[in-house]
Amino acid sequence: MSRETLVQQTTNSPESGSSTSSSFNADSFDQSVMSTYGRFPLALERGQGCRVWDTQGKEYLDFVAGIATCTLGHAHPVMVEAVTRQIQKLHHVSNLYYIPEQGELAQWLVEHSCSDRAFFCNSGAEANEGAIKLARKYAHTVLEIDKPIILTANASFHGRTLATITATGQPKYQKNFDPLVPGFYYVPYNDIRAIENAISELDEGDYRVAAILLEPLQGEGGVRPGDVAYFQKLRQICDETGILLIFDEVQVGMGRTGKLWGYEHLGVEPDIFTSAKGLGGGIPIGALLCKKFCDVFQAGDHASTFGGNPFVSGVALSVCQTLERENILANVVERGAQLRAGLENIAAQYPQHIAEVRGWGLINGMELLADIPLTAIDIVKAAMEEGLLLVPAGPKVVRFVPPLIVTEQEVEVALQKLGKAIATVTK
């Protein structure tokens, strides 16, 4: 689809049997909205389950899910009911008062994780900001470190705020935003010797390593799973030194990997971890979860006007309860194995183009060979023409993150569409 086609359209939906007039003009949009996104020429207006429709009425299988966010897909009955019920009851009051829905959500998260406390905000970046602040206060008040350092990994991604792009080990996100926030140091992912060397080198004078912030599986960095032995050794180092171990579970948490939390794949527990994206199923919410030491945060140290309000907490709780009640994690494991097997079969057909398939559960990446001109964007665009929505994870990795309710048939159809798309771009 070209950008010029994004004009007034009439949508005829075979599912609803009704015709609705839908008007969209890309030029008008671009005149009013900042150009901070490289958008595809596609305007979506309706969704149901794992399918979405554009303003022309074309149907797509959605294997992006709002970038690993729409846990239950689109227009899920449980979410529709929760949204309706809560908006009619009470949607926002601020954290000046106790919010029962927030307390229930926190209790569910604590009972279903290694954490003891929860703080709620609006996004993954905010949750990671909170983790950084908590680690720094702990460093100053408990570890007595004057100049704390937080280690993060190359190719990581932790958000778009000034502190979180500094924590992000990818220079392309930091360009022209300097001076960056001090106190961060980058090491290769899955390299324990690099961690040990960094701790040794940085622990001089007033500087000391106070925390290590990592993703259990790097999402934006190319869908790269953490190595079990690496993370277990890391936990041992942190236990011996008092360094805090922080996991960014924004993309991999809430069942995306086939387990509720990514750290469960690694056999270790973090001291702090963050969640967002799938937590609200598409409703904006983030969470900072930690052990009891987080009581170093006292009244006035951290806050969020909208964080954990009745509306978002009520809807997020419905998502959590549905994951558990309907045993959706079992579906993630089965469909993830099916998807990976299908991707590996496709990769075997194109050894001159595809290097590797990797992932956990329903977050999977297909990496292209580095020395060929074909890019992830090329495949994403070709798949879109076939009616399949995908998202890159860097220039050479195509990412597959469908809703966790995706069916066996939908995975098979997606693989067929992907096969056609790859055949087209590799001719």
Q: Tell me the catalytic residues.
A: 157, 248, 277
Whether 294 and 301 have beta carbons less than 8 Å apart is answered as no
Contact 297, 119 (CB under 8 A): yes
Cα(373)–Cα(343) distance, integer angstroms: 20
222 contacts: CB under 8 Å, gap ≥ 6: 155, 365, 367, 393, 394, 396, 397
Cis before 179 (ω within 30): yes
User: Cβ of 321: how many Cβ atoms within 10 Å?
Assistant: 15
- Give the whole-angstrom CA distance, residue 196 versus residue 413: 46
What distance in Å separates the CA atoms of residue 161 and residue 165, rounded to the nearest whole number? 6
CA 358 to each of CA 7, 68, 353, 366: distance values in angstroms, whole numbers, following the listed order? 39, 16, 16, 7
- At 78, which amino acid appears? V
> CA separation (Å) from 257 to 169, 218, 301, 332?
23, 12, 33, 7
